[in-house]
Structure formats: structure tokens, C-alpha cells
Structure 1
Amino acid sequence: MDTEAPALVVFVGPSGESGARVHVLTEADGLVRGLAYGGASRAGRGVWQPGNVVKTRMQRRTESSPCRLSGEVLYGCTARLFSAPLAMAMAVATCALADATLPEREPCPPLFGETIRLMTFLGYDPVVAEREAMPQYIRWELALLRTLGFGLDLENCALTGQRDGLAYVSPRSGRAVSAAAAAPWKERLLPLPSFLLNADETGTPHDWAQGLRLSGHFLARDAFGQRHLPLPAARQRLVERVEKLAAEEASIPTGDRTDPATGAQTPEPG
């Protein structure tokens, strides 16, 4: 193995005095775990940071030998997010989930593309990312579930087949249910935030919390529960940050609230 490709750094850990254990996500080879010699040096730390997109050379002498990684930064996402805590939490959670769930050396071109798009959006304008990136992040979690074989069906109602009025998801089957059909059982269903059905919607912190609860249920049950593992701490910290934003939003009088997408004040009802 001797290939070169763009890769997203998803994990970095120490290895010896100056080396680093590095996990990267690539399009053709999926998750690759290797060693970066000098990765813990001052120059190496600038390259091998979770969230960086790196032009990575991957070398392996034999199938059983460790993979040697070297590279140069193409796009440094997390360095742009120090003043954007919510966007930073999304970037860190993305890396943690990808590293914890994806099988090694199994190609995942669609998910790789979705991941790079998300990280690019987060880093391009952190101020905008704080307001608008959460729906994209939650869609990424749903894409991760699809890649792992646990995709949700949000196309039509599981009970009526209708495509309109979808408002809930069955926690057992992962299928959408319309508001009308769900009436007798809605307390046992997961709310389906409308921004997951309409890409033009940004939603509110309350909607984001519902979206994280939805994707988190299936991640916890299917991606981690089958291996008797908890969700990564980085993902839980993201949930706590969003729930805090939702609680702060709920404490503000309606007329004083602002639309997260436009910054405009929300008018009083009626």
C-alpha cells in the first residue's frame, strides 16, 4: 500500500516520544489507522489535529505491518472555530462518531463527501455555522446511520403511506408517522423536526435538541448498543450545549426572540 489522498483527521493519540497514532477518514479506503512519525512534534501537531483535512500519504509494506502516515494540511477546520463553541462541538463530535463507528479500510464515498461538506461549512464562516450548521450536523448523523446499515425511513407515513404531515418517528422501526396517524401513540414516538424534511429550514435550538434526540436514539441503540458501548463523550457535550441553548430560548419572551437563520426578531403570535 502506497497511496496519497485527501483525508479527514478524526483521532490523534501519543506514540512514543515524538510519534502519534493517527486515524484518518478517506474516500477510497474508509477509516485508516496508522502512525505519524514526528506527529507529536511542533510541526506535526499543526498537521495532525482532529478536524484537519490533510493531503495524506499512506504507506504499508505488508498487509500486517502498521500504516505509516505523512502529509500536509489542505484545510484546517478546528483552528477556525476557537471563537465558535457550538460549531467546535459539532466538529469534535463528528470526528469522535466517525472514529468510533466506521469499520477500518471499508470505502464510504458518500459519507466521506457529506463529512467534508459539513467540516467545510463549519470552518468557512464560524458565525454563520453557529446559527445554521446544526441541521446539517444532524443530517450527517443520519447519513452515518445509513452508512452503518441503520438508515431511517422519513419518506412517508408507516401507517398510511402518505408523504404529507409527517411529524414523528417510530423508535422501533425508524419509520416516519404523520401527525394524524400518530395521535393515539404520539407519547411513545420521537418528534420529527420539520428541518429534516425541508432543507431550507434552519430550526430553533428546541428543534435541534429534538433532532439530536432522534438520531441519538438510533445511534445509541444500533451503532453503540449492540457493542455495549456508550455514545462518545464529545457527542454528549454537544447535546448538553444545545439543550442549554433551548432552555435559554424558552426563558425569553416570544417577542424578544431572534430567528437563528436571519437574526430577525420573532413577532408576537396573532
Structure 2
Amino acid sequence: MEWRDEGIILATRKHGETSVILEVMTRGRGRHLGMVRGGRSRRMRPFLQPGNRVDVSWRARLDEQLGTFQVEPIEQNAARLLESATAVHGLQTLAAHLRLLPERDPHARLYETLGLIIAHLNDATVAGALLARFEIMVLDELGFGLDLLQCGATGTRDNLTYVSPKTGRAISAEAGEPWADKLLPLPPFLKSGAEISGDVQAVSAAFRLSGYFLARHVYEPRGITAPESRASFLAALLKALDRQAPTAPTV
């Protein structure tokens, strides 16, 4: 069995004296693990780092085996990401979310979005909005997608400001007003076609929204908790946002 693909490194762990087990998110074959012989060498260590984009060739006698990787660098992002606590915790959170999906299950849309987020993890003005959107996408890939396109009560696509915690559907300001204290706020940047940026209040609301449905549909049924890196990312992000004037870069 053999294949070749492009991937983004999520994590590594030592294997024996000289090798590593590499975890990558690939474009066509999803999250995949394999052994890299000599991966702890001085030559290979710099590009076998989380966040780097690589060309990977996998080989094994049987498909169900761990197999081995041959790896060549394409884009080295790790050094840049290590300069920011927001980026470090963000990348760890992205990897944890991808581990909620079955190994070797292709998710091309998540792969492309992962690359986009990694390119902007150092920018606090967009990193939070992008990662919150990623969490909504993960819910969708797991079969628990939210309907944020139209009001679940009236069908209108205008003035959507809430989300029902029961149905996961957007609710307009008018329809939701009587039950506003029981509904979840819908940040503007989560709406289709919206500008990808958010202030402290909007980002916090977005993570409360995605966190609520992740806990309800994923964490609690599996008997697990949210990754610690998620709380660390939010703390670092909100601290960075407090220090910056809000901007609206185009992504």
C-alpha cells in the first residue's frame, strides 16, 4: 500500500531512539499517522514541527498498519507560530478538534480551512473569528451542523441575532425578543458572507455558542471535556485583543 499527498503537521512524538510518529492532516486522506525513520535527526527536526506544510509519502504492507512516512518540506510556519501564545494554543486547539473526527477520514474543506487559519493565527483580529468558524465546521462535519442562514421561527434571512440552544437554528431579533434571555447570541461574523473579524464581545459570544453545541453533541456523549488548549487560546486571544484597536482585514 502506498500513496502521496500534501499535509499539515499536527503533532509528533518520539519513537525509539531516532524516529518519530508523525500526525498530519492531509488533503485527500484526512488525519493520518505514520513513522518517520530518522525524524529526530538534526536535518529533519526543523521541518517536522506542528504547523508546517509538507509533502508526505506513506507506505505499509497492509492498509491498517501504522506505516512509514517519507516527508519533504513545502512551507515552514512553525517558527512564526512559536512567537505568539495565541498561535501556539490555537494550533493545539485545531489539532484537538481534528482528533474528534475518525482517523483517515477525508475532510478536504477542513484541510483548506486549517491552512487558512494557520496563515493568520498570529493576527488576533481575525484568529478568533476563524477558529470559531472552524468549530462550527467541525460540528457540521460530525453531523451536528447549525442552521445560521435563516430564522427558524419565521424563515426570514434578515436581522438574525440569536441561535436556539434546542434546535441550533438562527432566530431573528423580532422573533427572539420574548425569549432573548434563553437564546444564544449570534455574532455577526458567523453569518454567511460576513466580514471575518470580531471584537472581544463577539469572539467570546462565538466561542460560547460553538462550545455549547460541542459539549452537548460531542464532549458529553463521549465522556470527554474540551481541550485545555481551547481555554488557553481564548485567554491569550482576549488579552491580545484588549491591547489592539479593532481592525477589519480582508481574508
TM over 0.5: yes
Q: Matches of 2:97 and 2:44 in 1, distance apart?
A: 24
| Residue 172 of structure 2, aligned match among 160, 178, 183 | 178
Q: Tell me, yes or no, if structure 1 residue 225 matches structure 2 residue 199.
A: no
In structure 2, the partner of 1:260 is 247
In structure 2, the partner of 1:120 is 119
Displacement after TM superposition at 1:85 (Å): 2.7
After TM superposition, the structure 1 stretch with the greater mean CA deviation from structure 2, 237-246 or 212-221, is 237-246
In structure 1, the partner of 2:150 is 156
* SS of alignment partner, residue 12 of structure 1: strand
Displacement after TM superposition at 1:110 (Å): 1.6
CA RMSD of aligned residues (A): 2.0
Displacement after TM superposition at 1:61 (Å): 1.1
* SS of alignment partner, residue 137 of structure 2: helix
In structure 2, the partner of 1:67 is 67
Displacement after TM superposition at 1:132 (Å): 2.4
Tell me, yes or no, if the aligned pair for 1:205 and 1:245 is still in contact at 8 Å.
no
After TM superposition, the structure 1 stretch with the greater mean CA deviation from structure 2, 226-235 or 80-89, is 80-89
Amino acid at match of 1:59: R
TM-score, with normalisation over the residues of structure 1?
A: 0.84
Tell me, yes or no, if the aligned pair for 2:7 and 2:27 is still in contact at 8 Å.
yes
Amino acid at match of 1:21: I
In structure 2, the partner of 1:235 is 230
* 1:40-119 alignment runs, 5 A limit: 40-98=40-98, 100-119=99-118
Q: Matches of 2:224 and 2:17 in 1, distance apart?
A: 31
Tell me, yes or no, if the aligned pair for 1:51 and 1:92 is still in contact at 8 Å.
no
Q: Matches of 1:72 and 1:219 in 2, distance apart?
A: 35
Q: Matches of 1:194 and 1:64 in 2, distance apart?
A: 44
Q: Matches of 2:236 and 2:136 in 1, distance apart?
A: 20
Instruction: Report % sequence identity.
Output: 33
List runs of 5+ in structure 2 lacking aligned partners.
Answer: none
Tell me, yes or no, if the aligned pair for 2:85 and 2:233 is still in contact at 8 Å.
no
List runs of 5+ in structure 1 lacking aligned partners.
Answer: 250-256, 263-270
Give the 3 Å change call, closer, same or farther, for CA 157–81 of structure 1 in structure 2: same
| Displaced runs of 4 or more, over 4 A | 243-246
Displacement after TM superposition at 1:68 (Å): 0.6
Give the 3 Å change call, closer, same or farther, for CA 50–229 of structure 1 in structure 2: same
Q: Matches of 2:117 and 2:38 in 1, distance apart?
A: 29
After TM superposition, the structure 1 stretch with the greater mean CA deviation from structure 2, 41-50 or 143-152, is 41-50
* SS of alignment partner, residue 133 of structure 1: helix
Q: Tell me, yes or no, if structure 1 residue 169 matches structure 2 residue 163.
A: yes
Give the 3 Å change call, closer, same or farther, for CA 243–80 of structure 1 in structure 2: closer
In structure 2, the partner of 1:143 is 137
Where relative contact order (Cα < 8 A, 6+ residues apart) is larger, the structure is: 2
**Superimposed CA distance per residue, residues 147-206 of structure 1 (whole angstroms, 9 cap, x where no aligned partner):** 111111001111111111111111222111111111222212111111112532522022
